Amino acid sequence: MRLLENIRVLDMTNVLSGPFATMHLALLGAEVIKVENPDGGDLARKLGNVPKLNQKLMGTSFLAQNANKKSITLNLKTEEGKEIFRKLVKTVDVLVENFRPTVMSRLGFSYETLCQINPKLIYCAISGFGQTGPDAFKPAYDQIIQGLSGVMAINGTEQLNPLRAGFPVCDTVGGMNAAFAIMAALYYREHTGEGQFIDIALLDSIMPLLGWVAANLLIGGQQPVLLGNDNFTAAPSGMFKTKDSYINIAANQQQQWEDLLDELGLPELKTDARFQERDTRKANRFLLTPLLETKLVHQPTSHWVDVLNRKGIPSGEVVSLEGALTSEQAQHRHVIENIETPGVGNIKIFNMTAKFSKTPAEITSPPPGLSEHTIEILTELGYREEDLGLFKEKNVI
């Protein structure tokens, strides 16, 4: 059995936050039916660094997060399309959309309307600011949320700030929050038989991830300090230069700090008043770093990683993205899997990273071509071949 076996999801999402959420449901075994506009489908189909794939409507951005899903096209502005959609809603457990608030209502498919059709429906709406509040109707992309959430304000150094995260962190965290909420709602429904409405905001979703930084301000009254690649909770804890590259060292505990000094041949710093205690080390971190680097630059990173980890001092190389994705550890954990995709070839995409002992998740089918499963799904709903031909003529599908 797969964890979400026999759960059917209607995926009306585009680009990143929504598809990221439904991808996790699909990897866990849910049947995810992606409802796309007949005119090009999900915008992500045209996004990516390979023009040939964009032209095929199989852009890398789409391929990255749509495995295990089915695709149907449906023009919801037509009466026939609306009727097909209503029939679909009767058959599903979950509906996920990431339109701006009221878009679904204007189409005639508000939660209140749909739960009359299917009282057990779990309806998850993902948007930049949520369904309510003074900013609810503003458009939003990941970078807009990064700026409004404080994420950009706390990154970088005095010379390079504000600074965005190097990937769409708000979109992906919003999608993960949605997947988590949907699982919780399914658990509730299992016990009560009741569906419900879930309101996910990207802005809300990212803010708790500021955790300790926010707590220092909200509880301790301390404004964030721009430390670049240093960790504000301890010192030495950050990135340091070696003979050939860089190393991350996190000597966060007193014993780790003292062991580090022994390994570097700097035992005299143990009794230096500037560095003896955790808080004084933090206050003098910019004096400490050059002293450590005078020793670190005599050996390559690989040497120090081996030496320090053997001593129980957390450390690691600062690797390239390619190095991270192809590492032995990532391969051992099956973080990335290969999947043969018609018209594209063999592609590498992320697998489910949670490892279940009894209900393992897996990639079972490639990202779908636009409308690949329209005939299959509509036939299942009872439509005949002549109906499908008429729908095509009217651009319903």
- State the catalytic residues: 171
The identity of residue 232, as a single letter, is: F
**Closest by Cα among 67, 19, 285 to 175:** 19
d(CA 205, CA 207): 6
Region for 345 from its dihedrals, namely left if φ exceeds 0, alpha if ψ lies in -120 to 50, beta otherwise: left
**Closest by Cα among 362, 366, 364 to 334:** 362
Contacts of 85 (CB under 8 A, 6+ apart): 35, 74, 76, 109
d(CA 154, CA 90): 46
Q: Decide: helix, strand or coil at residue 127.
A: strand
Answer yes or no: are the C-beta atoms of 377 and 383 closer than 8 Å. no
Torsion on CA atoms 153, 155, 158, 160, rounded to nearest 10: -100
The identity of residue 338, as a single letter, is: N
For residue 294 the two structure tokens come to: 């005078």
Answer yes or no: are the C-beta atoms of 348 and 64 closer than 8 Å. no
Stated length of the chain = 397
Distances (CA, A) of 3 to 19, 25, 122: 19, 9, 17
